[in-house]
Amino acid sequence: MAPRTDFPPVRACLFDMDGLLLDTEDLYTLCINMVLEKYGRPKLPWSLKAKLQGRPGPQANKLLQDWAQLPIGQEEYLGMLTELQQKIFPTTKPLPGVVDLLGALDRATASGGPVHVALATSSHSGNFKVKTAHLADVFSVFPPERRVLGDDARLRPGRGKPLPDIFLLALRTINDSLPEGEAPIRPDECLVFEDSVPGVEAGRRAGMRVVWCPHPMLKAEYTGREEEVLAGRTGEAGDADPDQVGEPGDGWAEYLASLESFPFDRYGIVVSPPASRQ
C-alpha cells in the first residue's frame, strides 16, 4: 500500500526506557544468565528475549520460567535476580543520541507550541529508581506527573504492552497538564519511541506513530519481518482487532538504527539552537 504522508506535526513524544533510553537490555541479560548458569541452564537466547522485552515483569518472568524450567520457585528466582539487579543497574548509561535528542525536544516546537514528552515504561518504581538515580539530569525532562511506570495504579493488571493502555495513559497525563488554551493532543499527533516488538505493537494499537530503535541482536531476530513489526502485526497480543494495528508500508512507523541525528523535520518538529553561554 502507498504510505501515508499527510500526518499532522508531532506534538508529543512518548518514550519507553529500557533498551531505548538506557543500556539496560544487556544488563538484564547479564543478570538472567548468571542465574541460569548457576543451575546449569543455557544462556538466554534472543529468540526468547525478544518476547520478554517491554512486557510487565510478571508476564516476562513466567515466559522465562516456562522456558528455563529452573529447579527453584518463582519467589526464590526473583529474589536472586533482584539482588543481582540492585548491584548492576546503578551502572546504567544513556544509549547513543539519547541526551542530545531529549535536550533538543526541550527546545522544540510543533504547530506553534511546545513538543511535550512523557515516559511509558514497564519498569516498576523500585527498579526505575535504581536505574535512574544517578541520571537525574537526563530524566529531568520528564515531569513526575508524566512518568507512567509499570506498577502505576492507573494501569489495570494484565494490561501492559503489547496492549496500548500505557501509551494512552501517558498521553492522558500530558493532556491533563497542558497549559490553559492549548488544544488536547490526539493520538495521531504522538510519536512513540520503542525498542521492543511488543512496544511497537502497543504504540500502533494506540493509534500513534512509532519509531522502532531495537538492539542489533533483536533486529537480527526479525530480519525479513521488519514491515510486519512496524505494522504491529507480529501477533504478540494474540488476535488483534484489525482496526488497532497497521498495514505493512503504511507510513505510520519507521526503523532507526540509532537515535543519533534524529530527523526532526520528518515529523514537523522545529528545534531551536541551544542558548549560547555567556
Alpha helices, H only, 98-205:
98-105, 125-132, 136-139, 165-175, 197-205
Res 135: pLDDT: 97
If you average pLDDT over residues 50-67, what whole number do you get? 82
| Model confidence band, residue 242 (pLDDT cutoffs 50, 70, 90) | low
For residues 229 and 240, the model is more confident at 229
If you average pLDDT over residues 174-201, what whole number do you get? 96
Mean pLDDT (the chain) is 92
Res 267: pLDDT: 98
For residues 54 and 195, the model is more confident at 195
Res 266: pLDDT: 96
Fold classified for 12-23+93-270? Rossmann fold (3.40.50)
Three cell numbers, residue 212: 522502532
Cα distance between residue 140 and residue 146, in whole Å:
11
Res 160: pLDDT: 84
What are 77-91's pLDDT values in tens digits? 999 999 999 999 999
Determine whether 26 is an active site residue: no
Res 157: pLDDT: 85
Cα distance between residue 147 and residue 13, in whole Å:
12
User: What percentage of the chain's residues is helix, strand, coil (to nearest 5)?
Assistant: 45, 10, 45
Q: In what order do the strands lie in the sheet with 108-110?
A: 113-114, 108-110, 270-271
Among residues 48, 53, 50, the alpha carbon closest in space to that of 65 is found at: 48
Flag whether pLDDT at 184 surpasses 90: yes
For the chain, count helices (H), then strands (E): 11, 9
Fold classified for 24-89? DNA polymerase; domain 1 (1.10.150)
Flag whether pLDDT at 52 surpasses 90: no
Mention every residue, 6+ apart, whose C-beta is less than 8 A from residue 213.
Answer: 20, 193, 194, 195, 255, 256, 257, 258, 259
Please tell me the number of Cα atoms within 13 Å of 154 on its side-chain side: 15
Q: Name the residue ranges covered by the structural domains of the chain.
A: 12-23+93-270, 24-89
Determine whether 16 is an active site residue: yes
- Considering 6, 16, 106, 188, which one is annotated as catalytic? 16
Q: Residues of the chain with pLDDT > 90: what percent?
A: 81
Cα distance between residue 63 and residue 80, in whole Å:
17
Cα distance between residue 166 and residue 150, in whole Å:
8
- Considering 6, 18, 188, 241, which one is annotated as catalytic? 18
Flag whether pLDDT at 237 surpasses 60: no
Q: Residues of the chain with pLDDT > 70: what percent?
A: 96
Mention every residue, 6+ apart, whose C-beta is less than 8 A from residue 257.
Answer: 213, 216, 219
| Model confidence band, residue 241 (pLDDT cutoffs 50, 70, 90) | low
Among residues 80, 154, 158, 143, the alpha carbon closest in space to that of 106 is found at: 143
Three cell numbers, residue 213: 530503535
What are 95-151's pLDDT values in tens digits? 999 999 999 999 999 988 999 999 999 999 999 999 999 999 999 999 999 999 999
